[in-house]
């Protein structure tokens, strides 16, 4: 317990958010913590941290990169196991690198990718439809974004299977499982991107359409991006884009499988999918562990924080804050400020892939429900969610064929 914490007299949370729990239990715990106070001290990890639980405070802190720095990204794992770029940078270096990356993930770029996303998605669904059932998580939710990631980077979709095998090992590592396998997986994937770079060095591609070729000729205020950094950027895009999309689809399909009226309404009027997706990702935020390093002594809303302290910015807690969203646990596409949710964060580090993610989700849901409008959960057993960053472990579905 720090002196500052004692002096603040703020409530203490002992909840360990790293552990696997029955599905939705994490949200219950987050709500309980928010109800205990806007600012808490959490002592469940080796390096305890301040928790910011309310919407307004979270946004404010996200917009203060000079005070709350990105040297720490997860309040639950402040010592990072994996280098991530540009995530660990602060402005102005962060701004410079984002400028190089933004155009690959902008709505304009996403629109260019649309025909490929659409046809591939339809292919996957049509492969599953005659089976009458599947594990949504393993057979659809992860395959779709993996292939989309490969397409975005102009890498062969035929690499998907092998790529996925290693990607899964990295995600297990996030949850603290099989660290050696995870390290091997990082090595394999770095090697994969290294080979992709070598291919392009041998046979240069169009820098307007090929991501890696563009990275090879891009510079950050006059300095070329090093090969190691290009590999790290690719690895970061992969870890950021695949698990989150898979997890979002898991929670969304779980919700829809239990609400046939909503499913029928959306299937009948597909123009509602974009707004429904906003509300569903508000309702089921995944990245709830967002952390920052306090870079100078500061009093934040009456709470004295010391340089070197760790801050948890409650993105998920904020999404369920009744001061911001009335009746927050209800699905309501009519609600005020529906897209103010923090599922993609805010401030300079807001999710780079947010436009691609939204697009992928809308396309996946639209095309799925055109072909498989009715389905149900095919198991009575308890489903679980991963700690550290939420994800449903599996979601067996069945439907009539």
Stretch of residues binding another protein (CB under 8 A), selected from 98-106, 123-131, 197-205, 301-309: 98-106
Stretch that binds another protein, among 196-204, 212-220, 302-310, 349-357 (CB under 8 A): 349-357
Contact 286, 345 (CB under 8 A): no
- State how far the Cα of 32 lies from the Cα of 35, in Å rounded to an integer: 5
Among 39, 40, 225, 346, the residue binding another protein under the rule CB under 8 A is 346
Provide the 3-class DSSP secondary structure of residue 156. coil
The answer to whether the CB of 310 falls within 8 A of the CB of 370 is: no
Residue with Cβ nearer another protein (350 or 370): 350
CA separation for the pair 399, 372 (Å, rounded): 7
> 301 vs 337, which CB is nearer to another protein?
337
User: Taking contact as CB under 8 A, which single stretch among the options 221-229, 231-239, 293-301, 341-349 is the one that binds another protein?
Assistant: 341-349
Nearer to another protein, 59 or 121 (CB): 59
Residues of span 14-73 touching another protein by CB under 8 A: 59, 63
**Contact call for residue 270 and another protein (CB under 8 A):** no
User: Shortest gap between Cβ of 246 and another protein (angstroms)?
Assistant: 23
Region of residue 81 (phi > 0: left; psi between -120 and 50: alpha; otherwise: beta): alpha
Closer residue to another protein, CB minimum distance, 10 or 318: 318
Contact 87, 349 (CB under 8 A): yes
Q: Which of 5, 234, 342, 392 binds another protein (CB under 8 A)?
A: 342
Helices 227-257, 260-268: crossing angle, 10 deg rounding: 110
**CB-wise, 63 or 209, nearer to another protein?**
63
Cα–chain center distance at 348: 16
CA angle, residues 325, 327, 331, in degrees to nearest 5: 90
294 burial level (CB within 10 Å; 0-12, 13-18, 19+): buried
Residue 108 Cβ vs another protein, minimum distance, rounded to whole Å:
6
Using an 8 Å Cβ cutoff, are 125 and 372 in contact?
A: yes
Cβ-based nearer residue to another protein, 59 or 238: 59
From candidates 3, 66, 108, 380, binder to another protein by CB under 8 A: 108
The reply on whether position 369 binds another protein by CB under 8 A is no
Q: Which stretch binds another protein (CB under 8 A): 33-41, 107-115, 120-128, 375-383?
A: 107-115
Nearer to another protein, 102 or 226 (CB): 102
Q: Please list, in sequence order, all residues whose beta carbon lies within 8 angstroms of the beta carbon of residue 149, skipping any fewer than 6 positions away.
A: 237, 238, 241, 242
Q: Tell the smallest beta-carbon distance from residue 333 to another protein (Å).
A: 14
Rounded Cα distance, 238 and 224, in Å: 22
Only segment of 6-14, 29-37, 103-111, 212-220 that touches another protein (CB under 8 A):
103-111
For residues 99 and 195, which CB has a smaller minimum distance to another protein in the complex?
99
DSSP 270: G
By CB under 8 A, residue 1 contacts another protein: no
Distance, in Å, from the CA atom of 257 to the CA atom of 396, rounded to the nearest integer, reads 11
Q: Would you count residue 250 as binding another protein (CB under 8 A)? A: no
Which of positions 278-337 make contact with another protein (CB under 8 A)? Answer: 337
Pick the closer one to another protein by CB: 109 or 124. 109
Residue from 162, 339, 370, 371 that binds another protein (CB under 8 A)?
339
**Distance between CA 252 and CA 355 in Å, rounded?**
18
Quick one: tokens of 166?
């290693």
List of E strands, 217-266: 219-220, 223-224
Nearest Cα to Cα of residue 225 among 93, 90, 88, 69: 93
84 to each of 197, 260, 322, how far by Cα in Å? 18, 40, 33
Q: Which CB, 63 or 226, lies closer to another protein?
A: 63
Going residue by residue from 203 to 242, which x/- string records binding to another protein, judged by CB under 8 A? ----------------------------------------
Of 96, 354, 86, 357, residue with least CA distance to 246: 357
Place of tokens 């646990």: 329
Which residue of 227, 340, 394, 398 would you call a contact of another protein, by CB under 8 A?
340
Q: How far is the CB of 344 from another protein (least distance, A)?
A: 8
Q: Residues in the site for another protein, rule: CB under 8 A? A: 59, 63, 99, 102-103, 105-109, 337, 339-342, 344, 346-348, 350, 354-355
């Amino acid at each position: 317990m720090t002196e500052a914490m004692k002096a603040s007299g703020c409530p203490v949370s002992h909840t360990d958010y790293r552990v696997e729990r029955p599905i939705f239990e994490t949200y219950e715990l987050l709500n309980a913590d928010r109800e205990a106070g806007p600012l808490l001290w959490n002592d469940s990890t080796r390096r305890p941290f301040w928790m910011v639980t309310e919407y307004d405070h979270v946004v404010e802190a996200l917009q203060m990169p000079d005070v709350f720095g990105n040297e720490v990204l997860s309040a639950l794992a402040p010592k990072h196991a994996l280098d991530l770029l540009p995530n660990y940078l602060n402005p102005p270096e962060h701004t410079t690198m984002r400028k190089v990356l933004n155009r690959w993930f902008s709505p304009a770029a996403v629109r260019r990718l649309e025909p490929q996303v659409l046809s591939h998605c339809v292919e996957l669904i049509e492969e599953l439809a005659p089976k009458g059932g599947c594990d949504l998580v393993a057979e659809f939710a992860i395959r779709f974004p993996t292939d989309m990631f490969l397409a975005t980077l102009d890498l062969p979709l035929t690499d998907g299977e092998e790529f996925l095998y290693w990607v899964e090992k990295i995600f297990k590592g996030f949850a603290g499982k099989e660290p050696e396998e995870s390290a091997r997986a990082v090595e394999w994937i770095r090697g994969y991107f290294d080979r992709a770079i070598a291919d392009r060095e041998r046979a240069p591609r169009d820098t307007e359409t090929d991501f890696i070729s563009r990275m090879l000729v891009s510079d950050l205020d006059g300095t070329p991006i090093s090969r190691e950094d290009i590999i790290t950027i690719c690895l970061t895009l992969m870890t950021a884009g695949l698990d989150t999309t898979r997890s979002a689809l898991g929670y969304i399909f779980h919700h829809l499988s239990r609400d046939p009226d909503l499913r029928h309404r959306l299937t009948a009027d597909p123009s509602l999918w974009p707004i429904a997706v906003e509300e569903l990702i508000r309702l089921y935020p995944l990245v709830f562990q967002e952390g920052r390093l306090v870079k100078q002594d500061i009093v934040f809303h009456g709470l004295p924080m010391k340089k070197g302290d760790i801050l948890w910015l409650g993105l998920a807690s904020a999404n369920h804050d009744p001061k911001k969203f009335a009746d927050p646990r209800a699905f309501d596409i009519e609600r005020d400020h529906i897209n103010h949710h923090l599922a993609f964060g805010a401030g300079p580090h807001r999710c780079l892939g947010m436009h691609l993610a939204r697009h992928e989700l809308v396309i996946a849901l639209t095309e799925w429900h055109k072909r498989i409008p009715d389905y149900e959960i095919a198991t009575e057993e308890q489903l679980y969610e991963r700690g550290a960053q939420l994800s449903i472990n599996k979601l067996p579905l069945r439907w009539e064929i």
